Structure 1
Amino acid sequence: MFWSHRYSRHEKGKWVPNQSKLARKPPIRIPERDVSSLIAQHQLTLIGRVTNPTMQRPQAVVDYLPQYWKLENRVTGRSLGSDTFQFKFTAEEDLQDILSKFPFHFRKWMLILQKWEPIIAQPFPSSIAFWIKIHGIPLHYYTLDTIEAITEELGPIKAKDADQMRVRVEVNGLQPLEMVRDVELPSSEIIQVELEYEKLKKHCFHCFSLTHDELTCPLLAPDSQKATRPLGINQQRTLSRIEADKKRHDERRS
């Protein structure tokens, strides 16, 4: 009587990862060259990133924004992959005009847009410039200096508006937004203030990320479908903007 022997994958030498193939190869060094002309070619370039790739396609953004900006013949765009894109302008004044109108959105989700820089830092782009107002400051401390002190930790302050008591700040759009901050007054009292991000569209009402909504928030339990915390001013304004957009759309169709 003969007994058959079934060889394991290891014995056959099959399905066993080749460790030599898994080892990371050394980086390929590219030749040095003068890149000054290439840098000059991209001085009027914006690099963009969608915040929610499941809802925003870069090519659709590239097709839409030049029309929205009314710059169809003065800007060219192209998709750079699954979540990034670029626009090249023909005139500095057009680029500066668009920079002054940040932030932008597409399909009600925010877009990250930054002027191109010859840097290697990752990830780039990542910043969104928001006009920010602060609610909850006592009137006798309600100054532009106070607003600057509260917002300067969020990112670089790019502009100030004393008439509307707001500052324009570049915040990291890949990280959850800060909606409230504890503030220590000169009297040593601690108060909580609320930050309002102008033109903010859809975002997670639970963790305040720009990359998903609360229905897909990884910080919520699978059986929890809605954030339970009270709506802040940004969430209330976002819902109002979405409702206003829907109303305008319905009126155009009727």
Structure 2
Amino acid sequence: MVDLKGKGIIYEEDDEPIQLFDEDDAHTIREYRMSLIGKVLNPKKQNVEKLIQYMPTQWKMQDRITANDLGNGKFLFNFASEEDLQAVLTLQENSVKNLKNIGRKLGHVDTIELEAGRLLINVDTRKPPVFKKKVQSPVGEEVTITIKYDLLFKHCTPCGLLTHEESYCSKKVEMMKAQTVKA
């Protein structure tokens, strides 16, 4: 060992290999085999505490999952059963399929942002955009989803077309005439 210039830095000239040990990790594997560990990628926008409260409810497993904030944007979900864990792991695959299925009803799907639940879709601008759509879950439950469009400016609200603004809408004029006749 050499002390360089009295700075207290010690360099080893020893080239002998470091001995590693084969440890039995069976206990650790057994303890965490029904766990998911994750990390938020954007901690300024993603709150771990809210995530660990929200996700078990979203999965409808709030009474069968324990969740822990591990610090530094990391979290742990412990599942009560292998079936619950597998159901959550297949949700992502199903989510991509479902987003594609919804997107195909609106136009041509270009890009999917699964984490944000967003799609980039090429739509036919000659048709009005769809803002609400009914969807049916695999168990038959029907709900209405709201579709939001980014950067949708100056479209006609009465007829929904993107080709003109409300002030130039012939449908609006017809609707106003019909209301005037009824009055």
The two structures have a TM-score, normalised by structure 2, of 0.45
The one of the two structures with greater contact order (alpha-carbon pairs below 8 A, sep at least 6) is 1
Higher gyration radius (CA): 2
The two structures have a TM-score, normalised by structure 1, of 0.34
Which of the two has greater helix per residue? Answer: 2
